[in-house]
Amino acid sequence: MTTQSSTNRLRSLTASLSKVEGLPIALVLVVVFVAFMITAPTVFLKPGIYMSFFETIPPMLICGLGLTLVITAGEIDLSFPAVVALSGLALAWSYRNLDPIWGPYVGIVVALAAGALVGYTNGILVARLGVPSIMATLAAQFFWYGITILLAGGLQVALVGIKDHFLHELLVGRLFRGQVIGGQNFPGLPVQALWATALAVLMWFILNRHTFGEAVSFIGDNADVARVMGINVERTRVQLFTLQGVMAAIAGILLTLDIGVFYPTQGNYLLPVMAGVFVGGTSIAGGAGSIVGTYFGMYIIGSLEAGVVATTISGYWVRVVEGAVMAGVVVLNAIMGEGRLAALSERFRHWSTREQRSIPAHMTMEKPDEVLK
Amino acid sequence: MTEHRPHEFALQMVNIEKYFGPVAALRNINIQVGRNEIVGLIGDNGAGKSTIVKILTGVYRPSSGELYIAGRKVDLSTYSVRKAHEYGIETVYQDKSLGEKQALWRNFFVGRQITRRFGFIDVKKEKELANEIMLNTIGFRGRGITVDSKVSKLSGGERQGIAIGRAMHFEAELIVLDEPTVALSLKEVQKVISFVHKIKEGGKACVYISHAIHDVYEVADRFVIVDRGEVVGNIRRSDVTLKELDEFLLGYAHGLKDKQE
């Protein structure tokens, strides 16, 4: 009797826990960092490494937020790295060639417009001309990256003096820098981490609480159903790719401002960003995406390399560990997602009751019609 | 504007014809559906049932003829799926009515969301209404199914029930059921039948398209039989037994009626 009630409690607990969005992935993030704290305490017990992650991961995360929606709609975007580069160049060019005070403002507008343009043309190719998004955006990646290299003449562009500009302070500045915490100077919290978090909150609301996000989910689920229910499928797809272009442009702006230099190869993290989205539990089949999952997933992916290196094991192990962690998380998602954890605990309950009462297996089938399925 | 009294008929199709190039898909189609009548549209595969449905729901434009919905004459030159919704025609398709990975409450309101400012969805209100539709409109008594359940958790019959309930909630004049029991087990077919009875109780009209006449016979008030693009029979349920109806249809299936002509 007590076993019965405790398994029931376990069942309702696991069922309600599996409803919390992104919880498994958040737990994995904690486990990963605890593992690093144990294996590399000199690095991971100080704030420096975390502040470094808050500097390097936000641009990836912002690309991943847009990509989460794209994948939820059953599409893919391979062209965002080119947009990160192109928008960075737009900003750098405006700063160098226009007024040093208001030039960066113009640069941001131009960068966002460039991102929107690339995204819009992707959307037209996919939604109006019916080109599969993997091909359309692959071509776009080559084309726009080529345009960027061409315009930059293959050279990097330094934004000399940008660190004194108000926009630098506003978008990629450091909070609480130099304050003494635990006897050490705090290196400062990168502001871009807060902007990325704010964007994540906004995108969560767009995906889960806005008609646009609902349209995206239904299109990824079944475009025919979406159409029959009065969703303008083509227009939504164009808007979606445009949004992704703008998100990648924001990432490019933050990245270029932060390092103060435009590199032609910046934003070259297609695979890590995709890994972050999938690790976060967004379904490759479309119809179900998790912004919370992408948020934590990107911090896992973005911190693995530095973390593994910090443990001082051979550098050759880095990719092995990364791959193993990714595979592990994806398997975990497959088990926990879609209420399968609840199904699992249901099975535990069956096992425990069967042992307890020693009822023959065929009599424990409470719902024969479910078994038939 | 029209001489028809409003709401006498939910639907009138007058001399509707449809040609695909020189091929006549439909000829001289005249169908009326009363405002609380369930009409079974039956006929073999290729008889023209689905063409009639597609004209009705705004997918195809007829070559000629007139269409009246609740006594209002429809301007066929601008008629579309969206217009059909505005006129109060809701269609439940056999397999493309619901988003499988989405929660039930989203499926009730997708495309017609209740929104606050800036297009954000009023989730609380949508869930409340969805719950009410499930309990009261269609009398849904599923095992542990709530408005938060994913559609993929529902059986085939339950899914049709959700789609029917949604159509009824949106004040449909006429609900078109396009082969709603295809690929369902007998038990699930019974569920769908009970949902169709709810349409009748709810005072709505329904066109039930099927070639499974046993199912249609249980719910329809009248049968319109289509064969090779023409209406060949218009029989009230009270005037016919299932066996007679079956034999009537079999006659067409075997081409016997042609020989008699």
Domain harbouring B72, CATH code:
3.40.50.300
Residue B153 covered by a domain: no
What is the average pLDDT value for chain B, to the nearest integer? 84
Between B76 and A236, residue with greater pLDDT: A236
With CB atoms and an 8 Å threshold, state whether A221 touches B96: no
pLDDT (average), residues A324-337: 81
Q: How far apart are CA A302 and CA B259, in angstroms?
A: 78
Per DSSP, the three-state class of B204 is coil
With CB atoms and an 8 Å threshold, state whether A338 touches B150: yes
Q: How far apart are CA A176 and CA B137, in angstroms?
A: 59
B223 confidence band (pLDDT: 50, 70, 90): very high
To the nearest whole Å, the CA of A90 is away from the closest chain B CA by: 31
Q: Do residues A91 and A250 make contact, with C-beta atoms less than 8 angstroms apart?
A: no
B87 confidence band (pLDDT: 50, 70, 90): confident
Range of the domain at B68: 9-98+172-260
Q: Does B113 touch chain A (CB under 8 A)?
A: yes
Per DSSP, the three-state class of A267 is coil
pLDDT (average), residues B167-189: 84
What does the pLDDT read at residue A18? Answer: 64
From B96, B111, B150, residue closest to A231, measured CB to CB? B111
What is the average pLDDT value for chain A, to the nearest integer? 86
* Nearest alpha carbon to residue A66 among A116, A114, A22: A116
Please report residues of B whose CB lies closer than 8 A to that of A218.
99, 102, 106, 110
Please report residues of B whose CB lies closer than 8 A to that of A230.
81-82, 85, 111-112
From B110, B112, B187, residue closest to A218, measured CB to CB? B110
Please report residues of B whose CB lies closer than 8 A to that of A288.
101
* Nearest alpha carbon to residue B138 among B195, B187, B188, B190: B195
pLDDT (average), residues A326-341: 72
Residue B30 covered by a domain: yes
Residue B142 has pLDDT above 70, yes or no: no
Q: How far is CA B5 from CA B2, B10, B71, B121, in A?
A: 8, 11, 6, 39
Please report residues of B whose CB lies closer than 8 A to that of A212.
119
Return the number of other C-beta atoms located less than 10 Å from residue A283's C-beta.
19
Residue B24 covered by a domain: yes
Q: Which residues of A touch B (CB under 8 A)?
A: 205, 209-212, 214-215, 217-218, 221-222, 224-226, 228-231, 283, 287-288, 338-339, 367, 369
A370 confidence band (pLDDT: 50, 70, 90): very low
**Structural domain count of chain B:** 1
With CB atoms and an 8 Å threshold, state whether B187 touches A228: no
To the nearest whole Å, the CA of A143 is away from the closest chain B CA by: 35
| A-B C-beta contacts closer than 8 Å | 67
Residue B120 covered by a domain: no
To the nearest whole Å, the CA of B172 is away from the closest chain A CA by: 14
Residue A233 has pLDDT above 80, yes or no: yes
From A211, A225, A287, residue closest to B113, measured CB to CB? A211
Q: Does B80 touch chain A (CB under 8 A)?
A: no
Q: How far apart are CA B97 and CA B88, in angstroms?
A: 17
Residue A365 has pLDDT above 80, yes or no: no
Residue B182 covered by a domain: yes
Residue B238 covered by a domain: yes
Residue B36 has pLDDT above 50, yes or no: yes
B261 confidence band (pLDDT: 50, 70, 90): very low
pLDDT (average), residues A327-341: 71
Most confident of A6-20, B206-220, B243-257: B206-220
To the nearest whole Å, the CA of A335 is away from the closest chain B CA by: 16
Asked which of A41-50, A251-260, A306-315 is least confident by mean pLDDT, the reply is A306-315
pLDDT (average), residues A280-284: 88
Residue B1 has pLDDT above 50, yes or no: no
Residue B59 has pLDDT above 60, yes or no: yes
ipTM at complex level: 0.78
What does the pLDDT read at residue B4? Answer: 46
Percent of chain B whose predicted confidence (pLDDT) is above 90: 21
CA atoms in the 13 A half-sphere facing the CB of A59 = 29
From A221, A228, A230, residue closest to B93, measured CB to CB? A228
What does the pLDDT read at residue B15? Answer: 92
Q: How far apart are CA B158 and CA B152, in angstroms?
A: 11
Burial B33-55 (b: 16+ CB within 10 A, else e): bebbbbbbbbbbeebbbbbbbbb
> Please, which residues have CB within 8 angstroms of residue A159's CB and are 6 or more apart in sequence?
A91, A92, A95, A96, A256, A257, A260, A261, A262
- The reported pTM is 0.83
Residue B152 covered by a domain: no
Residue B243 covered by a domain: yes
With CB atoms and an 8 Å threshold, state whether A225 touches B82: no
Q: How far apart are CA A62 and CA A56, in angstroms?
A: 11
Please report residues of A whose CB lies closer than 8 A to that of B110.
214-215, 218, 226, 229, 231
